[in-house]
Amino acid sequence: MPLTLRRLSFQAMGSPCEIQIYEESRISAKKITQILSSEVSRLERKYSRFIPKSFLSEINYSAGNSMGIKIDKETRALFDHALSCFEQSHGHFDITAGVLNNIWDFQKKIIPTESQINELLPSIGFNKLQWRGSRLYMPANMTIDFGGIVKEYAADAAARLARKIDVQYGLVNLGGDFAIIGPQPDNQPWPIGVADPKNRKALIAKIDALEGGVASSGDYERYFAHQGKRYSHILNPKTGWPSAGLRAVSVAANLCTVAGSIATTAMIKEESEAIKWLEDSGLSYIAMNQNEEIIRNGWQEPSATAE
Amino acid sequence: MKPKPSRSLIALSTSALALPGISVADAPPTQSTASYKISNYQEDDLSRSEAPFGDLDRYDIDVHQFKLISPVGRNFSVNIDANYETLTGASPWFTSVGLDGDPDVNLSGASGIRDKRTEVSIGARYYLENGSIGSNIGYSEEDDYRASYVGFSGERHFNNDLTTVSLAFSHSADDIFPTDAELFGRVISESKYSSSAVISVSQIINQFSTIRTAFSTTEQRGFLSDPYKLIDFRPDNKTQLAWSNSYRRFFVDRNAALHLNYRFYHDDFGISSHTIDTSWFQNLGRNYQLVPSIRYYSQSAADFFTNIDDFLKPLNEYQSSDYRLAAFGAISGSLSLVANFGNWTATLTAERYVASDKYAAYKVNQPSTALVKYNRVSLGFDYSF
């Protein structure tokens, strides 16, 4: 049987997900997808802040407990990566700012008062985490949110697992975060497009990727306008307010996790700082600012053939 | 031109690469694998001008290897290895001066050598959060040789799994009881003991390349001579040191990997050696891999090596005409084809090995005439379940 592109969709991490692989048999493609999607749901069950029994919920429940909580190796590595994000972004990207999600409600468009925000700021700050061996001690009221890290990590982990079980040509897409398993047959790149934040059916740019990953961060759906300013759902841990810099950014990197960390940091920064951050990274990126202007480096205009 | 990656990008890549789902760190096997391999090793026969008496056939060896590795529970794995070898042919018994003054080789008895070797080893490995520890014991038996050994090893990952340090110790006790000992005046029974220690450090440089360096030392004591040679008298103590280095790099655009290895060896018999080898692992489509390899080896002679056995030398003075103690060089090339089909992997390898004093990097004072050339063909199967 010839190699055929098999596309299989599933729902995970609150997003539509898709795995595309070239396989001879439909049955083995299905088997592979099941293995990969179960890895993604393993990470979702472990790190979702919406699942009360997830390990992340347990971690958050331990805040203020003088006994702390024992952290396994994988979670420790996520904290280590989050520390790297915190340091490199000079504190803009901070997973300990999860508590802000409790007072900002983007669905109901409720704006917290300044005093509500000021009350919470002391329970934010990666440098307030304490470690003793493999035990983590969190200050009271602190909440960890692995947004911008875990979905991207899950995409990379699924792609790596696929390579481990000898899948050669494929692409993992977890709600717009992409990790490439391997190029298309004959070393052809995967075209990855970015949708227009204003019109989800139109592409504003595309990139041809042979390896690595692409991650996006944006305020397409979750945002609100307040006093003529548009606020994204991405919160600035320093001010407690949503960021009002870029509207959307997509980054291509050696790993989806790295692309996600760069993109999330860019979203939290002010526009000019964000563009400098993206330029300095040396990566290919495309960003849209508040005036709906496109700033790009390395991304092409969508060709007429793109869907 | 893209600008160089920033420090932020390097820092973020490093911490991301340490994530267990992305990194290439140790994990217990999740599947059982059984493999079987048959190899045939055939030395080129000598010509009549090199060996005026005795058999011209050199060794012809068939090797059957069986291996099973299986996970037990979440953190444990066990493995069983079994080898069975049959050997026929002759090896040089003594060397003498021919009519033209060049050394001749006399191969052992007209009936030649016929032997079989059976080896069994079992091991277990326990996987910890930051490494693994393991142990194995083994036993090997031939008509005239018995060896039992035990080994322990441990490895630990540091620096977000980018660095791995491993330590291994092993000890073996061997008994030698040559056949036809009384007929040929050979030793009746002797023993030897070896202990070795290895420390190695491997470092992941980035997602495409790794380096590894290792130091090993082996101490041997007991009967280290060749009981089948008429004249062979070696020290009963030997210290060996080796320094091995390897570099691996994956080329995404070529879908291939380069392996480069260098090893330096020295022992107090006076032998030093250099080994350089390189292999190119080329993936072809989704089911095949082609691996050409080339290897160069050169060693200096042992202090007491002689290419002509000296029957007049006092018996308490060391001497040996074993070609493995001569100064020589060797070049070998091999080609492997690996095919994957479902749960099966088949590997076919052909190798040509030629040793000669002409290839020596060290000075050859006394060339050995018994240096081997051989062809080796092997076919192996792995099955995962």
Instruction: For B81-104, write each residue's pLDDT tens digit.
Output: 998 988 777 666 666 666 666 777
- Neighbour-count burial for B127-156, b at 16+ CB within 10 Å, e otherwise: beeebbebbbebebebebeebebebebbbe
| Same-domain status, A75 and A108 | yes
DSSP A111: P
| Same-domain status, A123 and A174 | no
Q: Which residues pair with B251 in a beta bridge?
A: B256
Interchain contact B31–A (C-beta under 8 A): no
| A153, A181, A254, B372 from A10: Cα distances, Å | 17, 18, 25, 61
Contact B19 A77 (CB under 8 A): yes
| A5, A51, B110 from A11: Cα distances, Å | 20, 15, 76
**Cα B70–B73–B78 angle (5° rounding)?**
30
Domain of residue A290: give its range.
Answer: 189-307
Q: Where are the beta strands (DSSP E) in B45-186?
A: 60-72, 76-89, 92-97, 103-107, 113-128, 131-142, 145-158, 163-176
| Same-domain status, A227 and A274 | yes
Which residues, in sequence order, are CB contacts of A227 under 8 Å at separation 6+?
Answer: none
Contact B12 A85 (CB under 8 A): yes
Facing A280 at nearest CB: one of B6, B11, B340: B6
Q: Which helix (H) or strand (E) holds B329?
A: strand B328-341
pLDDT in tens, chain A (307 residues): 678 899 989 999 888 999 999 988 888 888 888 889 989 999 999 999 888 889 999 999 999 888 888 888 899 999 999 999 999 999 999 999 988 888 887 777 778 888 888 888 888 999 999 888 778 999 988 999 998 899 999 999 999 999 888 888 999 999 889 999 999 998 899 999 888 777 777 888 888 999 999 999 886 655 666 666 667 777 889 888 888 788 889 999 999 999 999 999 999 999 999 999 999 998 999 998 888 888 998 888 876 444 4
Q: For residue B252, list chain A residues with Cβ-Cβ distance below 8 A.
A: 210-211
| Same-domain status, A96 and A222 | no
Facing A211 at nearest CB: one of B15, B18, B252: B252
Judge contact between A73 and B130, C-beta under 8 A.
yes
Contact B19 A74 (CB under 8 A): yes
The answer on whether A148 is annotated among ligand-binding residues is yes
Find which of B6, B10, B22 to mutate to test the A interface (most A CBs within 10 Å of its CB): B22
Q: For residue A84, list chain B residues with Cβ-Cβ distance below 8 A.
A: 11-12, 14-16
Find which of A38, A72, A73, A187 to mutate to test the B interface (most B CBs within 10 Å of its CB): A73
Give just the sign of the alpha carbon dihedral A88, A89, A90, A96: negative
Q: Which helix (H) or strand (E) holds A242?
A: none
- Tell me the residue type at B366: Q
Phi, then psi, of B314 in degrees rounded to 5: -55, 145
- Distance between CA atoms of residues B255 and B1, nearest Å: 24
Interchain contact B11–A (C-beta under 8 A): yes
Tokens of B159: 């620096």
- Distance between CA atoms of residues B238 and B224, nearest Å: 8
| Residue A142 counted as domain residue | no
Tokens of A192: 């990855």
What count of residues does chain B have? 385
- Residue A258 distance to chain B (closest CA, Å): 6
Contact B15 A262 (CB under 8 A): no
Contact B12 A258 (CB under 8 A): yes
- Distance between CA atoms of residues B64 and B82, nearest Å: 8
Q: Domains of chain B: which residue ranges? A: 7-384
The single residue listed with the structure tokens 């390097």 is: B10
pLDDT at site B1: 40
User: Which region holds residue A239: left if phi is over 0, alpha if psi is between -120 and 50, else beta?
Assistant: alpha
Q: Contacts by B309-313 with C-beta closer than 8 Å and gap 24+?
A: B309/B94, B309/B95, B309/B96, B309/B229, B309/B230, B309/B231, B310/B231, B311/B231
The radius of gyration computed from the CA coordinates of chain B, to the nearest angstrom, equals 24
Q: Which residue of B has its CA nearest to A260?
A: B12
CATH code: domain of residue A174: 3.10.520.10
Tokens of B371: 């240096």
pLDDT at site A221: 56
Find which of A160, A167, A169 to mutate to test the B interface (most B CBs within 10 Å of its CB): A160
- Residue B381 distance to chain A (closest CA, Å): 17
pLDDT at site B269: 93
- Distance between CA atoms of residues B96 and B91, nearest Å: 15
- Distance between CA atoms of residues B160 and B175, nearest Å: 45
| Same-domain status, A90 and A231 | no
CA A183 from chain centre, in angstroms, equals: 22
Find which of B4, B7, B12, B288 to mutate to test the A interface (most A CBs within 10 Å of its CB): B12
Judge contact between B223 and B191, C-beta under 8 A.
yes
Instruction: Look up the CATH number of domain B7-384.
Output: 2.40.160.40
Number of domains forming the structure of chain A: 3
Judge contact between A33 and A5, C-beta under 8 A.
no
Contact A253 B2 (CB under 8 A): no
Phi, then psi, of B367 in degrees rounded to 5: -70, 140
Listing DSSP states for A118-143 in one string gives: HHHGGG--GGG-EEETTEEE--TT-B
pLDDT at site A304: 43
Q: For residue B255, list chain A residues with Cβ-Cβ distance below 8 A.
A: 187
pLDDT at site A86: 94
Closest CA to B65 of B31, B41, B43, B88: B41
pLDDT tens, residue by residue, B181-222:
777 777 788 899 999 999 999 988 876 788 999 999 999 999
pLDDT at site B259: 93
| Same-domain status, A169 and A31 | yes
What count of residues does chain A have? 307
Facing B129 at nearest CB: one of A73, A168, A279: A73
| Same-domain status, A300 and A207 | yes
Closest CA to B19 of A167, A127, A39: A39
Judge contact between B18 and B161, C-beta under 8 A.
yes
pLDDT at site A305: 45
- Distance between CA atoms of residues B379 and B373, nearest Å: 20
CA A214 from chain centre, in angstroms, equals: 10
Contact B20 A74 (CB under 8 A): yes
ipTM, interface predicted TM-score of the complex? 0.87
Domain boundary among A183, A210, A244: A183
Q: Which residue of B has its CA nearest to A3?
A: B286
Q: For residue A281, list chain B residues with Cβ-Cβ distance below 8 A.
A: 5-6, 8-9
Q: For residue A298, list chain B residues with Cβ-Cβ distance below 8 A.
A: 2
- Residue A202 distance to chain B (closest CA, Å): 28
**Cα A189–A190–A196 angle (5° rounding)?**
135
Q: For residue B13, list chain A residues with Cβ-Cβ distance below 8 A.
A: 253-255, 258
Contact A78 B5 (CB under 8 A): no
Chain pair A-B, CB pairs under 8 angstroms = 100
Q: Which residues of chain B register pLDDT less than 50?
A: 1-3, 110-111
- Tell me the residue type at A104: W
Judge contact between A287 and A296, C-beta under 8 A.
yes
- Distance between CA atoms of residues A35 and A48, nearest Å: 20
Contact A88 B129 (CB under 8 A): no
| Same-domain status, A282 and A300 | yes
Tokens of A69: 């909580």
| Same-domain status, A86 and A178 | no
| Same-domain status, A79 and A35 | no
Contact B6 A282 (CB under 8 A): yes
Closest CA to A82 of A267, A213, A260, A248: A260
**Cα B254–B340–A178 angle (5° rounding)?**
55
Q: Which residues pair with A288 in a beta bridge?
A: A248, A294
Listing DSSP states for A76-105 in one string gives: HHHHHHHHHHHHHTTTSS-TTBGGGGGT-B
Helix (H, G, I), strand (E, B) or coil at A232: strand
